[in-house]
Amino acid sequence: MGADREEINDWLRLCHTPGVPPAAVRRLLAAFGPPSAIFTASRGALSDVVPVDVVGRLLARTSAELSTQIATTLEWAGRPGCAVVTLSETAYPRALLTLGDPPPILYCRGDATLANRSGDGGERAVAIVGSRRASAQGRDDARRFARVLGDAGVAIVSGLAAGIDAAAHEGALKTCGGTWAIVGTGADIVYPTHHRALAEQIAERGLMLSAFPIGTPPRPEHFPRRNRLIAALARCTVVVEATTHSGSLITARLAGELGRDVLAVPGSIHSPHSQGCHVLIRDGATLVASPDDVLEALGMTPSAPAHPVRGERKRRPRPSPARAGSETPDHGKRSAQGGNDAAPPLPGAHVSRKPPEVKVEADVSTVGPTNGPGGTAAVLDALGYDPVNADTLCERTGLAIADVLAQLGALELGGHVARLPGGRFGRLTLAD
């Protein structure tokens, strides 16, 4: 599966020759077909399609840098489970053809045919995204959503980032739906590095996919491009947890612009991790309280009773999914107390503001609390903003039940935690 050595050489030469812009590449492919036909066409014929100076650069001797890149890519593509898939191949994901400028070359680890097994256009693929600095509850929700959807045969698409992305991949790994990781680096690089074991499992059981050349390191400008592919590959995007400056809101906006459904999981009004989801819901995203709500959005019949999250006992009516529009969303910052609206309204909203500046965040799966009585910080962080019992806190912290109960008692005396009916505990303070 994938292009052969000669095809890889021609595609890389076409797409990565300095001074040959992507628009020129698209025009040449539309006019002549695959790169082999382009490089055998006459200079005059090529000049009828793109400027003469572009033709000169394209037909010039291959630079040493590009020759090295081609050799490196050929060596990588020769490894087991690695493939270069080009726009002209049947394995190329059909869902990406809905983009006006689909990446002409994809680098795959795993089964490159998986992206076309979830229905034409990805009808049985769902993106699950969210904050890198997710709460323990958010990660639990992402794993369960992914596991239930995967067991129903839905492929789970995400970005291999820490937090919600990693939890979604973990939940879907052993399901029949499987999982695809769309990365913002070369397919030979794992970012963050502590996800190496997870990446290997995804490559063995699912698919890792990149539009960036082999050896490409993580850069801030790559992740919005990665997010665009995630949105395009999935029938709908589910945001499990997000702050108002989370990159997952960019994925939600891009999904809406592509005509995909956008869904969001609600949370505590006091949790900064839920503010982005609440703004998405306010601006037209579908509220989802269980995986069954996502199955309904896909037109699939739930096979088991709903399992509400975050203490929901009754599923609420869902608003109509947001669709594409022409407005540019706002990605400014919104505090829990109010202020400027930070999250992007979905396409079609009435506000048009400056798009976000996306930064590569330190990829950590958890963020330690910054205060709380001595010895209780880990329990307070694991508690999050949703009522949980002591057994759940033991699982999240790795502490013995006696230690957890002792620290909960100290937090309760300090006014940080309240004891609730049913043996549960809830946070009283609004911030860590």
**Ordered strands of the 424-427 beta sheet:** 388-389, 424-427, 417-420
At 336, the amino acid letter reads A
pLDDT of 86 > 90? The answer is yes
Q: Residues of the chain with pLDDT > 70: what percent?
A: 81
The C-alpha atoms of residue 259 and residue 232 are separated, in whole angstroms, by 9
Instruction: Give the per-residue pLDDT at 1.
Output: 56
Task: Report residue 134 CA to chain centroid gap.
Answer: 14
What are the sequence ranges of the domains in the chain? 1-75, 79-298, 374-427
Contact 392, 424 (CB under 8 A): no
The C-alpha atoms of residue 69 and residue 77 are separated, in whole angstroms, by 12
Q: Residues 351-361: pLDDT tens digits?
A: 333 333 434 44
For 374-427, CATH number out of 1.20.810.10, 1.10.10.10, 3.90.1010.10, 3.30.413.10 equals 1.10.10.10
The C-alpha atoms of residue 323 and residue 404 are separated, in whole angstroms, by 46
Residue 342 vs residue 397, higher pLDDT: 397
Token couple for 142: 């992402």
Residue 383's closest CA among 271, 246, 308, 288? 271
- The predicted model gives 225-242 an average pLDDT of 96
Out of 60-69, 71-80, 292-301, 350-359, pick the least confident: 350-359
Q: Residues 289-309: pLDDT tens digits?
A: 999 999 999 999 876 443 444
Instruction: Give the per-residue pLDDT at 122.
Output: 55
Query: Architecture of domain 79-298 in CATH?
Result: 3-Layer(aba) Sandwich (3.40)
Identify any residues that bridge with 338 across adjacent strands, giving them in sequence order.
Answer: 335
pLDDT of 412 > 70? The answer is yes
User: What is the pLDDT confidence band of residue 393, given thresholds at 50, 70 and 90?
Assistant: confident
Q: Residues of the chain with pLDDT > 90: what percent?
A: 61
Instruction: Give the per-residue pLDDT at 429.
Output: 59
User: What is the pLDDT confidence band of residue 379, given thresholds at 50, 70 and 90?
Assistant: confident
User: What is the pLDDT confidence band of residue 259, given thresholds at 50, 70 and 90?
Assistant: very high
Contact 189, 215 (CB under 8 A): yes
**Ordered strands of the 286-287 beta sheet:** 82-86, 105-110, 207-212, 179-186, 155-158, 125-130, 236-241, 261-264, 286-287
User: What is the pLDDT confidence band of residue 390, given thresholds at 50, 70 and 90?
Assistant: confident
The C-alpha atoms of residue 118 and residue 124 are separated, in whole angstroms, by 5
User: What is the pLDDT confidence band of residue 117, given thresholds at 50, 70 and 90?
Assistant: confident
Angle at 27 between CA 87 and CA 114, to 5 degrees: 10
Out of 252-266, 359-373, 380-394, 414-428, pick the least confident: 359-373
Mean pLDDT of the residues in the chain: 82
User: What is the pLDDT confidence band of residue 70, given thresholds at 50, 70 and 90?
Assistant: very high
Instruction: Give the per-residue pLDDT at 317.
Output: 39
Q: Residues 163-183: pLDDT tens digits?
A: 999 999 999 999 999 999 999
